[in-house]
Amino acid sequence: MKQITSKTALWLTCIAILALVSCSKDSHGERQGLAVSFVMPNDDAIDDIQLWIFNSNDVLENEYSFESAAAMARNLLPLVVGKHTVVTGTNFTAPFSYSTTIGTTKMDELLVLLTDAKASPSHAHYGIQAVNIKENGITQAVVKMNRALAELQFSIRNVPTEVVSVEAEVLNCAKGFYPATGRLTEETAQVDMGKQVPVNGDVNFPLLRVMPVVEPTSMRAVEETKTHIRFIFTFNDGKSTEVEVIVPIMQNGGSYAPEVEYDTLKDKVIVDITSIPDWVDDSMGSGEAVE
């Protein structure tokens, strides 16, 4: 995960503190319940917040929606005394989807799907925090949030003039993930990266926000997860060639902007460039990645 910026963390913490201070001056001051605040990665915008509260048996007991972090911080959640788990999500609006039923949904069944794999939506986030509600007073839960998506921007250099267009797609992005457990779905989706025309010998695909990648189940036990990308080169004589490029794993929270020479790809069917140096994401922090 990327390192948390102190600016964003401080801003959200201040909101929570101000809200709790105001609560102490009104009816909330004598109440018991849960106050939730976030530590966010980077300065990502928050347009929608979802909180799922699970009981000690990991069954969904309640869920809440807020339009902003400030609105969430102003609310004290009434929970019974005891242990609970808070699962949080932001920006899980369309094209994301999920379905839950209070009293039925188990924590490890909470599934968030990206219904349009190529939509490249705003960054969504997730987090999980165990809490123990006291008999009196306010219990505070500070949840560290993680990005659910990865960023990808692929470039090909020194493309010959006879290449008139290049199409690309990621072949093995997950369809969704389980925010309470950090697992990805086994089902995959292909992500269309678009069709680009070379400019002065360079092909630059736009930045996309996509789900992390997974390997087919049959391959997981024998080799580590890799990212599979298919390129189709179309030439001025109407012919085309297809190349599958294998690069290192693409994880949630990572930002990848590799540059590859055309000569590395030409006249190949499959190219393994898992040692590509530009794929290393130095911004990844020590947080847990979705697996």
pLDDT of residue 63: 97
Q: Could you tell me if 66 and 161 lie in one domain?
A: no
Q: Could you tell me if 102 and 207 lie in one domain?
A: no
pLDDT of residue 241: 96
Domain endpoint, select from 87, 120, 147: 147
For residue 290, tell me if it sits in a domain. no
pLDDT of residue 47: 84
Euclidean distance between CA atoms 120 and 191, whole angstroms? 10
Query: For residue 238, what is the domain's CATH number?
Result: 2.60.40
Cα angle, residue 107 at apex, residues 103 and 112 outer, rounded to 5°: 105
For residue 214, tell me if it sits in a domain. yes
Q: Could you tell me if 140 and 190 lie in one domain?
A: no
Q: Could you tell me if 120 and 27 lie in one domain?
A: yes
For residue 284, tell me if it sits in a domain. no
Q: Could you tell me if 99 and 169 lie in one domain?
A: no
- Nearest CA among 178, 171, 180 for reference residue 210: 171
| 101, burial (CB in 10 Å: exposed 0-12, middle 13-18, buried 19+) | exposed
Strands (E), 175-280: 176-178, 183-184, 188-196, 203-204, 208-210, 226-235, 240-248, 255-256, 259-261, 270-272
| 170, burial (CB in 10 Å: exposed 0-12, middle 13-18, buried 19+) | buried
What domain count does the chain have? 2
Residue 21 belongs to what domain range?
A: 6-147
3-state SS class at 82: strand
pLDDT of residue 59: 98
Q: Give the torsion sign (CA, 186, 94, 121, 35).
A: negative
Output the six-digit token pair for 222: 């024998």
Q: Could you tell me if 196 and 137 lie in one domain?
A: no
Query: For residue 128, what is the domain's CATH number?
Result: 2.60.40.2100
For residue 289, tell me if it sits in a domain. no
Q: How far is CA 282 from the centre of its chain?
A: 17
Q: Could you tell me if 167 and 184 lie in one domain?
A: yes
Q: Could you tell me if 203 and 103 lie in one domain?
A: no
Domain endpoint, select from 147, 175, 198: 147
- Per run of 10 residues, the mean pLDDT along the chain (length 291 residues) is 38 44 43 89 88 97 94 91 97 96 97 96 96 92 95 97 98 96 93 98 97 72 79 97 94 93 91 77 38 44
pLDDT of residue 28: 45
CB 123 within 8 A of CB 80: no
Euclidean distance between CA atoms 201 and 152, whole angstroms? 21
For residue 138, tell me if it sits in a domain. yes
Q: Could you tell me if 71 and 161 lie in one domain?
A: no
pLDDT of residue 284: 36
pLDDT of residue 90: 97
